[in-house]
Structure 1
Amino acid sequence: MLKIPASQPLRDFAADVRSADQLRLLNKQDAKAATREVARQFEALLVQQMLKSMREASTHFDESSNSSIDLFRGMYDQQLAQSWTRSGGTGLADAILRQIEVQTNPALLDQPRTGRAQLAVTAPVRQAAAAAANSAAPVAAATAKDAAAQFLDRIGNAAGPAAERLGVAPSLLVAHAALETGWGRKPIRDAAGNDSHNLFGIKAGGDWQGRTAEVTTTEFIHGVPQKRVERFRAYDSYAEAFADYAALIERRYQGALAQDAGGYGAALQAGGYATDPRYADKFTRVAVQVARLQDSSRIG
């Protein structure tokens, strides 16, 4: 039988499925060492959850995130939690181990405690979160910027005629499309998986005679987000989507005509284009990002 020295740590790679087998083997050879390792693993899980909660509580915008970046961050945090608890951790593993020992031998309650008397969680977790953010942020930012630039290249030319028709800057229409599609990462697709080219989330009412696509979307009902299945219009090209969008703005959102970014977004929200109570604010922020990207591309 393979012998695992009690002083030898289990594998540090968080995704290594063989760690559980090693733990079972260690338990047969040295129950106390195995108990300590279980306590450390439990501490690592709690640290990982704290890192996740801190990320979710931090201000971020959906347009700068996608599933690949979220997966990378999750894997990084998982590995960070493992490595950090292996090098000392918060002291929670020691507390768990002592509690287990006390249950086995209540007489330990009468003995003075050694080591750390309290959990030092706040400062170490803050340092770990900072390390995670510093490592992941450059990759996430570069990936998001590349995706945004590709989105602008893909739809930029189609925005010109519609913008001229409405008397607004093309960048405003591009910004609206970026907001509705998450910079092109969340396109509306039909049942066959085909792109509907619907850049603006325009729904298919009873008077729509063209193709449609049904997808699950988030609607705010009395300020509360709810998931609902809605029917959306489908087009053959982005040019067709922009033309239909321009007709809709002329017909129902005339207050947006000849406006800057702030006025355009405010007019959309006031006219009920979306149910999100922060829609105008989000539109303005995306419009600023579009303008910066366009400026950088011209400079480049």
Structure 2
Amino acid sequence: MNSHLSKAGIYNDFSGLAELKAGARKQSPEARKEVARQFEAMFIQIMLKSMRDAGSVGEGGDSDEIRFYQQMFDQQIALDLANNKGMGLAKIFEQQLGAGPEEVATDGLSLLNRKPVSVQQAVIDGAERADAAERAAPQIKWSPESPEAFIQDLWPAAQKVADKLGITPEVLIAQAALETGWGKKMPDGSQGSSMNLFGIKADASWRGEKVSVQTLEYREHVAVREQASFRAYDSTENSMEDYVAFLKNNPRYETALKHVNDPQRFLRELQDAGYATDPHYAEKIQGIMSSDRFASVVSQLKAG
């Protein structure tokens, strides 16, 4: 193969271009490949020139000599880039050069018949696709219709997880009822409910999903609204499992875990360790557990 055809120095090597034209007329695969590469080099050079022109606006100190050498430098960079992987344009050019007249005509007509899309329409289309993708994503929904339904839904998982903590299922469910308003006030995110039953916040150690919402905190016995990030789960059982791990992995709750056989003492120690800022946290949970409504549903579930 001729040296001009295999590796031209820069695209304005005129003798090389002449041989490229001759080879292209013969439909030589090697020539098509080289012509495509040279076209990509020219395209890259035009891009470089546009970038230089944009960057030199308002600047002084340019001269014809400097611009001449910059142009030569850009030409060489363009060819070097095209000689390697380039921008992928060479392959497209090569395919077009190798296509028959009917294929080229068909492709050309399809491009001519394509309706132009405005920038505004492109933005709208992109937003609609994003909305559609979000709607297509599985939504996690769980909103018990009543306190009775809340207890019944959580009972199977609470029984299983409570054994790992050594506590009764009633304590877990009553605490979850207080934290979530019987399942009506769980933090929600774009994918639906966070399934966060125990109000566990997403600190720096958390690597899972999270949601950010307004929350009510008590500062010096005064209730204030704050923005906070909470952990998100794909099921209520996973939320309970994480609650157990959260208590066991935090030394501050060590004393509380020593009293799991005494629900009142456990809840009081949990509050004293700073689990919640509400000064009546333990008292409220005990109030739920001792209510006739709660006790009646639990009694029925235990009876099977």
* TM-score when normalising by structure 2: 0.48
